């Protein structure tokens, strides 16, 4: 019984520490919520980087990005980003705003651990969030395809946030 209480207390402390590490300002959260595209950076086991544009949803804790039905050069399970996450789960996501008036430039940079979901409660939650944000996903079978979950470990922002 004592172990369980200590474990529970430890889990609460870890959650609090995690929240402190990536507490988001109102401006950063506004940029994340309004952005339609981000860029996901992965690296393979040797450190070779790979960056792709992604659609994403954020639930306040985790980021989700689907492997959708847009045309790709290979089948979903062979995509470089998924192979990289298997080899090296450390990823970064950049959500930015570009304006010709450079005083309005801004970005949020998310560092985190990624994993691939193929089913389960988090996968279903991601499908719901993504279909709410992107009407195109309402007719795609993203509920049957892999989903990338990114758990932030650190977040930084810059510019006109």
Percentage of the chain beyond pLDDT 90 is: 78
Homologous superfamily of 24-159: Electron Transport, Fmn-binding Protein; Chain A (2.30.110.10)
Bridge-partner residues for 111, per DSSP? 92, 154
Supply 106's token pair. Answer: 């801004």
Whether 153 contacts 18, CB under 8 Å:
yes
User: What confidence tens digit (pLDDT) does each residue in 5-63 have?
Assistant: 445 665 554 554 444 456 889 999 999 999 999 999 999 999 999 999 999 999 999 99
**What pLDDT was estimated at residue 23?**
81
If we measure between CA atoms, which residue out of 151, 124, 1, 110 comes closest to residue 66?
A: 124
3-state secondary structure of 7: helix
3-state secondary structure of 51: strand
Strands 63-66, 57-58: pairing is antiparallel
Model pTM greater than 0.75?
yes
Instruction: Count how many residues are written for the chain.
Output: 161
Query: Is the confidence at residue 146, as pLDDT, over 60?
Result: yes
User: What confidence tens digit (pLDDT) does each residue in 91-130 have?
Assistant: 999 999 999 999 999 999 999 999 999 999 999 999 999 9
Q: Any idea where the domains of the chain sit in the sequence?
A: 24-159
Supply 107's token pair. Answer: 């970005």
**What pLDDT was estimated at residue 2?**
39
Q: Which residue has the tokens 């089948």?
A: 75
């Amino acid at each position: 019984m004592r172990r369980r209480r200590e474990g529970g207390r430890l889990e609460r402390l870890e959650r609090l520490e995690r929240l402190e590490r990536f507490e988001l300002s109102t401006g950063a959260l506004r940029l994340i919520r309004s952005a339609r595209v981000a860029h996901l950076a992965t690296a393979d086991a040797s450190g070779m980087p790979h960056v792709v544009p992604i659609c994403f949803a954020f639930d306040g804790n985790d980021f989700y990005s689907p492997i959708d039905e847009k045309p790709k050069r290979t089948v979903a399970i062979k995509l470089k980003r998924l192979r990289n996450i298997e080899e090296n789960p450390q990823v970064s996501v950049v959500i930015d705003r570009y304006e010709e008036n450079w005083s309005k430039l801004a970005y949020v940079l998310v560092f985190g651990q990624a994993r691939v979901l193929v089913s389960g409660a988090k996968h279903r939650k991601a499908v719901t969030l993504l279909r709410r944000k992107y009407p195109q996903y309402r007719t795609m079978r993203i509920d049957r395809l892999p989903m990338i979950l990114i758990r932030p470990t650190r977040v930084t922002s810059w510019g006109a946030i």
